[in-house]
Amino acid sequence: MTVKVQGVVATRKGAPVELATVLVPGPGPGEALVRVQACGVCHTDLHYREGGIGADFPYLLGHEAAGVVEAVGDDVTEVAPGDFVILNWRAVCGQCRACAKGRPWYCFATHNARQKMTLEDGTPLSAALGIGAFVEKTLVAAGQCTKVNPAVKPEVAGLLGCGVMAGLGAAINTGGVTRGDSVAVIGCGGVGSGAVLGAVLAGARTIIAVDVDDRKLEWAKGFGATDVVNSRNADAVDRIRELTGGFGADVVIEAIGRPETYEQAFYARDLAGTVVLVGVPTPEMRLDLPLLDFFGRGGALKSSWYGDCLPSRDFPMLVDLHLQGRLPLEKFVTETITVDGVEEAFAKMGRGEVLRSVVTF
Ligand SMILES: NC(=O)c1ccc[n+]([C@@H]2O[C@H](COP(=O)([O-])OP(=O)(O)OC[C@H]3O[C@@H](n4cnc5c(N)ncnc54)[C@H](O)[C@@H]3O)[C@@H](O)[C@H]2O)c1
Ligand SMILES: [Zn+2]
Ligand SMILES: [Zn+2]
């Protein structure tokens, strides 16, 4: 049965988002209908609104969500009505070429349930990252639902569905940060702060947080950064070198998605060190560097999609660490807002006032 709910829709490139009536059909085979309880506002939602990710407007935004499964399609066995789940944008398919090679964290499968959600006039909605969760109820592929301990607060759990997982995983999975490493994180929004927390969890010895906003740097210290650099007032590369015995960091994580900060990351790492790009660039961005420096500095230049996570492995584990008091995920939630507050939340994000605004239903 189709339900009628209110959702946050980006109708055209650059235009403010609007609350619109969304028609959500009942779940077919392989699908689940989820009652969303909380959904964080991620910078990627703003990239969608700006046309930076694609031109498939209208978009149903929101993708950092947790909620309760309300109904499932006939053949669905992995989740059942009543389960508390975090929504993921990597439902490992087990069949694509990445899965076949035993590298499921690169799974290339896409999910189609989303294309069934429409506006009232029948216009199909493209759901952000195949989820679309700034809406009371959403239809997803059942594999996009990862069951976790329901003792966790939904507004905290949902953040593992994207930004915090992307940052944590960029440090631990992609960057391979390990005990004793030096790590620099450039850009300490929700994603970068997740990377700081990942470096803490992995046992890094030096964790340098870089941002242009002192408030973000204060928060980064709260997550466990050992040093902070405001790159408005200081040269990020010089400072990172100074703080690492003159050499540069073992792992530098770029969590903004800009050529100039990527260049900082490139030169702020030690010889044979690792750069992890987790920030998402836009199509017009270019990078111009001496090829000799790529050769001469060696090491690994990696990009991190979703922190190379495996939702079924990582979400329940991270929720348990949080419930044991070992992962302060609650510090990411600067405020909870109602579903009509997403446009204002983008503005607050732009002004640097929040790590995460989280819509609760
Ligand atoms: N790779 C992935 O899987 C993945 C997942 C989620 C988000 N992202 C991307 O990660 C990026 C960060 O997302 P977010 O939600 O943390 O955004 P955010 O807006 O909360 O944080 C960005 C931070 O960068 C800082 N910053 C901006 N310009 C800077 C500069 N020149 N030097 C230093 N700091 C600067 C800002 O002050 C802010 O603290 C976005 O591009 C987003 O699309 C990637
Ligand atoms: Zn796959
Ligand atoms: Zn996101």
Please tell me the least confidently modeled range out of 67-76, 109-118, 155-164. Answer: 109-118
User: Residue 135: how many CB atoms within 10 A of its CB?
Assistant: 30
User: For a substitution probing ligand 1, which of 53, 185, 256, 261 has the most ligand atoms within 8 Å of its CB?
Assistant: 256
Q: How confident is the model at residue 108 (pLDDT cuts 50, 70, 90)?
A: confident
pLDDT digits (tens, 9 = 90+) for 118-159: 999 999 999 999 999 999 999 999 999 999 999 999 999 999
The Cα 162–Cα 89 span in angstroms is 8
The Cα 198–Cα 195 span in angstroms is 5
Does residue 22 line the site of ligand 1, with CB under 6 A? no
DSSP 8-state class, residue 171: I
Q: For ligand 1, what atom is nearest to the CA of residue 354?
A: 20
Does residue 144 line the site of ligand 1, with CB under 6 A? no
Q: Order of strands, edge to edge, in the sheet holding 126-127?
A: 118-119, 18-24, 3-10, 59-60, 126-127
Rounded to an integer, the average pLDDT of 191-219 is: 97
Does residue 334 line the site of ligand 1, with CB under 6 A? no
User: What percentage of the chain exceeds 90 in pLDDT?
Assistant: 94
User: For a substitution probing ligand 1, which of 39, 41, 43 has the most ligand atoms within 8 Å of its CB?
Assistant: 43
| Res 113 pLDDT > 70 | no
Ligand nearest to the CA of 100: 2
The Cα 336–Cα 254 span in angstroms is 27
Q: How far is the CA of 343 from the CAs of 9, 45, 68, 178, 326, in angstroms?
A: 10, 10, 25, 39, 33
Does residue 213 line the site of ligand 1, with CB under 6 A? yes
Cα atoms found within 13 Å of the Cα of residue 97, Cβ hemisphere only: 0
Does residue 278 line the site of ligand 1, with CB under 6 A? yes
| Res 112 pLDDT > 70 | no
Q: For ligand 1, what atom is nearest to the CA of residue 303?
A: 1
Determine the distance separating the centroid of ligand 2 and the alpha carbon of 249, expressed in angstroms.
33
Does residue 27 line the site of ligand 1, with CB under 6 A? no
Does residue 280 line the site of ligand 1, with CB under 6 A? yes
| Res 114 pLDDT > 90 | no
Q: For ligand 1, what atom is nearest to the CA of residue 349?
A: 19
For 115-131, the three-class secondary structure string (H helix, E strand, C coil) is HHCEECCCCECEEHHHC
Does residue 119 line the site of ligand 1, with CB under 6 A? no
pLDDT digits (tens, 9 = 90+) for 240-293: 999 999 999 999 999 999 999 999 999 999 999 999 999 999 889 999 999 999
Does residue 187 line the site of ligand 1, with CB under 6 A? yes
pLDDT of residue 1: 86
Strands (E), 106-226: 118-119, 126-127, 137-141, 145-147, 182-186, 206-211
The Cα 238–Cα 216 span in angstroms is 20
Q: How confident is the model at residue 178 (pLDDT cuts 50, 70, 90)?
A: very high
Q: How confident is the model at residue 96 (pLDDT cuts 50, 70, 90)?
A: very high
Amino acid identity for residue 268 in this structure: A
Does residue 319 line the site of ligand 1, with CB under 6 A? no
Nearest Cα to 168, choosing from 353, 334, 327?
Answer: 327
Q: How confident is the model at residue 331 (pLDDT cuts 50, 70, 90)?
A: very high
Rounded to an integer, the average pLDDT of 282-306 is: 96
Rounded to an integer, the average pLDDT of 316-345 is: 97
Does residue 88 line the site of ligand 1, with CB under 6 A? no
Q: 288, exposed or middle or buried, with CB in 10 Å at 0-12, 13-18, 19+?
A: exposed
Does residue 158 line the site of ligand 1, with CB under 6 A? no
Cα atoms found within 13 Å of the Cα of residue 179, Cβ hemisphere only: 0
> Which residue has the least CA distance to atom 43 on ligand 1?
44
User: Residue 360: how many CB atoms within 10 A of its CB?
Assistant: 16
Ligand nearest to the CA of 95: 2
Please provide residue 317's backbone torsions phi and psi, each rounded to the nearest 5 degrees.
-65, -45
Determine the distance separating the centroid of ligand 2 and the alpha carbon of 102, expressed in angstroms.
9
